[in-house]
Structure 1
Amino acid sequence: MMPFQPDALWRRLQTSPFRARFRLNAKDQTYLDGKGLPLILSHARDFIDRRLAAAHPKNDGKQTPMRGHPVFVAQHATATCCRGCLEKWHGIPQGVALDEQQKDYIVQAIALWLVRRGGARNLSGANIFDPDRGL
Structure 2
Amino acid sequence: MSDSLDRRLDAIARHPFRAKFHLRGRDRVTAELKGPATIRWHARDLIARRLAPAEPYKDGRQTPYRGHPVFVAQHATATCCRTCLRRWHDIPQGRELTPEERAYVVDVICRWIEREIESPAR
The one-letter amino acid of 1:29's match is R
Q: Conserved in 2, the CA contact under 8 Å of 1:23 and 1:118?
A: no
Q: 3-state SS of the aligned residue for 2:118?
A: coil
2:115 is aligned to 116
Deviations 1:72-116 (A, max 9, x none): 000000000000000000000000100100000001100111011
- In structure 1, what is the equivalent of residue 33 of structure 2? 34
TM-score between the two structures when normalised by the length of structure 2: 0.91
Instruction: Point out which structure has higher relative CO (alpha carbons under 8 A, 6+ apart).
Output: 2
Q: TM-score, normalised by structure 1?
A: 0.82
Tell me the residue number matched to 2:99. 100
Unaligned runs of 5+ in 2: none
User: 1:91 maps to which residue?
Assistant: 90
Distance in 2 (alpha carbons) for counterparts of 1:65 and 1:14: 19
Higher helix share: 2
Check whether the contact 2:82–2:93 (CA below 8 A) recurs between aligned residues. yes
Q: What is the aligned partner in structure 2 of residue 65 from structure 1? A: 64
Runs of 4 or more consecutive aligned structure 1 residues displaced over 4 Å after TM superposition: none
Residue 15 (str. 1) matches residue 14 (str. 2)? yes
CA distance in 2, matches of 1:60, 1:7: 26
Q: How many Å separate the matches in 2 of 1:104 and 1:59? A: 22
CA contact (8 A) 2:32 2:117 kept: no
* Count of residues in Structure 1 that have an aligned counterpart in Structure 2: 117
Cα separation, 1, equivalents of 2:4 and 2:92: 19
Following the alignment from structure 1 to structure 2, what is the Cα–Cα distance between the partners of residues 111 and 22? 14
Counterpart AA for 1:108:
D
Partner SS, residue 68 of structure 1? coil
